Amino acid sequence: MTRWHDRSLSPAERADALLAEMTLEEKVAQLGSAWPGNHEISGNVAPMQDVFARGEVPFDQARANGIGHLTRPFGTAPVSAAEGVAQVTALQSDIVSETRLGIPAIVHEECLTGFTTLGATVYPTALAWAATFDPDLVERMAAVIGEDLRTVGVHQGLSPVLDVVRDYRWGRTEETLGEDPYLVGMLGTAYVRGLEKTGIIATLKHFAGYSASRAARNHAPVSIGPRELRDVILPPFEMAVRDGGARSVMNSYTDLDGVPAAASKALLTGILRDEWDFDGVVVSDYWAVSFLKSMHRVAASAGEAGALALAAGIDVELPDTLCYSKELTELVRSGEVPEELVDRSARRLLRQKAELGLLDADWAPRAAPVDLDSPGNRALAREIAEKSVVLLANDGTLPLSAGKIAVVGPCADDPRVFLGCYSYPNHVLPRHPEFGLGVSVPSLTEALRLELPTAEISLHEGCPILDEDRSGIASAAAAAEAADVCVAVVGDRAGMFGSGTSGEGCDAPDLSLPGVQDELLDALLATGIPVVVVVVSGRPYALGRHAGRAAALVQAFLPGEEGGCAIAGILSGRTVPSGKLPVQIPRTPGGSPGTYLAPPLGRDSEGISNLDPTPLFPFGHGLSYTTFAYSDLRLSAPEIPTDGALSISVTVRNTGERAADEIVQLYLNDVQAQVTRPVQQLAGFARVPLEPGRAARITFALHADRTSFTGLDLRRIVEPGTIEVLIGPSASDLPCTGSFELTGPIREAGHDRVLDTPVSIVPLE
């Protein structure tokens, strides 16, 4: 038995032993990837795929010296689980039998809304997970996704997205966990824990700054300052690395202050490894290394692009090997690129292969066919969807009763509108109509007919989602006028690179509803009939034009395959709404697409500017079919040192008649600091289930580190001063307030600082 096959050795020792046996060509080959069948790519899978995937390099050439990763054998063209397992087994067997050292590849797949393959459960989008404010639920979902991936022979999932939303017009808003770094960090870390505990490698993306692009354009430059980077963009990644145990990170496509992330040693090595002690593998976003030459123009050749990325800290090039190949090998042989850089990345990847069992002599895949859309999966998808739906406004029209209901709108009877851009039905299957959606996805109209079997329900499209066709608006309004109530279902259909109204490369010029949907709502609301507006979307849209006239407003952020049933249950009253907004709902479409994390000058200036950025509905907002009362705020101490901690507790009581969950939110306000700070920022939250009339005591354990920020000298500090404490059901409804003093010297808070706010819930008699 060779030394690197010896399981009694640590993964690091086995990697070193194998590395010592490898030629330069074999080491470089481990840093590459192969996309078998890339000429069969079906759909808008990745940016500029037509440029880079015009012709497939024969697999026997691609793996001649070995291969690091196999790209999306399940997610490229429609295959059943059994067919995919057979294909992976054949590819791995070929690599092992036809290369000198016989090292299997790591298989990676997308898994943002579930395993992105034919027939797999489509869960709600990440923005919907965020609306649940429920880390335990997200971790449970990720673990189920991980088990499905592991069962069929996949090793790595390209999720979660930890980009913090900075401008809602960005098409990838639906893929994010919202606009608050603490919420993003807590839920993203929960997803990482769920995936990693099944043995699947979680991949954090996109590191870093992608979501702060100019004018919210995909792949646009980013010009934020170092303080915004440190205080808003980076914390979720740091939390997921340190507390989640993520073993992989993917670079951002963007350039940050003129430096492409794929070539940024400061970012990929300085911050990620030197500051945060990350010891996993950095993989490139698809073709990001090639973009250093073709788009960023900082490299003159493929080899030079590879050299820049390798030196910065990208270990593996995805999805194909274009730059980590012959030209890079020649640069190493000539001495222009140190071989130590190749060894560094190869060692990291080989250690990961050892952890996965791919360096074992009996590596043979244990993959097996599995029901990828099991009843258990669907039940979990529905639970997440139900907890994610946000009731924005209600004059008492909801819950609906049986009667004559006109269901109107382009999203009313289209099941695709519930699915994200990285769901398989929207990602690949539009070019394979013979497969349908691959899974059962009831539309909202279908679900309402099942939910309210005695109601008389009529269906009218009114207008398309995007096309400016007004021909059906008048008849839809007439149908609404003849009904007891109208349910208007508007919003998005996700796609990729312009094929949808939400999703990667589907950026919006403003925050009006797509097409003529606002005009449709105007016509329906003018009838005087109660109109319940249901927005099914991947981003928040401006609803100020309609809010005062609508009987109720409901927001669902692409709630997945069970979304129709979940929304129908909310409308009927079978389910009590409990979702809260992870983003604000703007008042006007072109107003201020900023987030709630605004310093004083970012708030309403009371006449200094004619533009008022106050949202229609604030971050954290969400109504229920019951009511809650907050009382008895207590702080365990009036002051603590800058390295101390205190407990903050409040009582919440269900004062209504329905059992329901309330999401209790803790915000902090640093009254005076050496740099401008957000007027308020989420510091803790808890989902609290309460029966009618019952109460609970919620206690947050707040460490002084949770007040830290990047100071004038760009060090993260805890500064003495007054900290206001605000607790309530949303960022603008905070009935319980208090304050405490931080005392003592300014203290630097490093990577070992406290990153979260533990919470306890104690039911009261």
Q: Does residue 377 lie in a domain region?
A: no
Q: How confident is the model at residue 616 (pLDDT cuts 50, 70, 90)?
A: very high
| Residue 271 CA from chain centroid, whole number | 22
Tell whether 690 and 591 lie within a shared domain.
Answer: no
Domain boundary among the residues 355, 375, 398 is at 355
Q: Does residue 158 lie in a domain region?
A: no
Question: Looking at residue 710, what is its pLDDT?
Answer: 97
Number of domains in the chain: 3
Tell whether 443 and 565 lie within a shared domain.
Answer: yes
Beta-carbon contacts of residue 318 (< 8 Å; ≥ 6 apart): 33, 69, 71, 108, 283, 284, 285, 286
Q: Does residue 615 lie in a domain region?
A: no
Beta-carbon contacts of residue 556 (< 8 Å; ≥ 6 apart): 128, 385, 388, 389, 390, 418, 534, 535, 536, 537, 563, 566, 567
- Tell me if 567 sits within 8 A of 389, measured CB to CB: yes
Percentage of the residues of the chain whose pLDDT score is greater than 90: 89
Question: Looking at residue 49, what is its pLDDT?
Answer: 55
Question: Looking at residue 124, what is its pLDDT?
Answer: 98
Tell whether 258 and 305 lie within a shared domain.
Answer: yes
CA atoms within 13 A on the CB side of 148: 28
The arithmetic mean of pLDDT across residues 706-712, rounded, is: 97
Beta-carbon contacts of residue 627 (< 8 Å; ≥ 6 apart): 654, 655, 656
Cα dihedral 191→192→193→195 (10° resolution): 90
Question: Looking at residue 598, what is its pLDDT?
Answer: 86
Question: Looking at residue 54, what is its pLDDT?
Answer: 45
Tell whether 337 and 242 lie within a shared domain.
Answer: yes
Q: Does residue 490 lie in a domain region?
A: yes
| Residue 453 CA from chain centroid, whole number | 36
Q: Residue 553's beta-bridge partner residues?
A: 393, 533
Cα 641 to Cα 381, 633, 675, 756, distances in angstroms: 45, 21, 20, 18
523 token code pair: 């016509």
The Cα 104–Cα 191 span in angstroms is 27
The arithmetic mean of pLDDT across residues 586-600, rounded, is: 83
256 token code pair: 């940050």
pLDDT tens column, 45-104: 656 555 555 455 788 788 889 999 999 999 999 999 999 999 999 999 999 999 999 999
What CATH number is associated with residue 442?
Answer: 3.40.50.1700
Tell whether 413 and 513 lie within a shared domain.
Answer: yes
The arithmetic mean of pLDDT across residues 211-239, rounded, is: 93
What CATH number is associated with residue 685?
Answer: 2.60.40.10
Strand-strand pairing, 456-460 and 255-256: unpaired
Tell whether 96 and 239 lie within a shared domain.
Answer: yes
Question: Looking at residue 500, what is its pLDDT?
Answer: 94
- What secondary structure does DSSP assign to 213-280, as a single string? -GGG-TT--B---HHHIIIIISHHHHHHHHTT---EEEE-SSEETTEEGGG-HIIIIIIIIIIT---S
Tell whether 399 and 347 lie within a shared domain.
Answer: no
Tell whether 342 and 262 lie within a shared domain.
Answer: yes
Tell whether 212 and 324 lie within a shared domain.
Answer: yes
Domain containing residue 756: 628-764
Tell whether 433 and 488 lie within a shared domain.
Answer: yes
Question: Looking at residue 362, what is its pLDDT?
Answer: 85
pLDDT score of 651 more than 80: yes
pLDDT score of 43 more than 80: no
Q: Residue 491's beta-bridge partner residues?
A: 536
- Tell me if 462 sits within 8 A of 474, measured CB to CB: no
Q: Does residue 365 lie in a domain region?
A: no
pTM metric for this prediction: 0.96
- Tell me if 556 sits within 8 A of 604, measured CB to CB: no
The arithmetic mean of pLDDT across residues 186-212, rounded, is: 97
Mean pLDDT value across the chain: 94
Q: Does residue 451 lie in a domain region?
A: yes
Residue 110, φ and ψ in degrees, nearest 5: -80, 145
Residues 437, 440, 442, CA angle at the centre, nearest 5°? 105
The arithmetic mean of pLDDT across residues 688-696, rounded, is: 98
What CATH number is associated with residue 242?
Answer: 3.20.20.300
Q: Does residue 224 lie in a domain region?
A: yes
Tell whether 493 and 639 lie within a shared domain.
Answer: no
Question: Looking at residue 592, what is its pLDDT?
Answer: 60
Q: Name the residue with tokens 């090595």.
A: 269
Q: Does residue 48 lie in a domain region?
A: yes
Tell whether 587 and 654 lie within a shared domain.
Answer: no
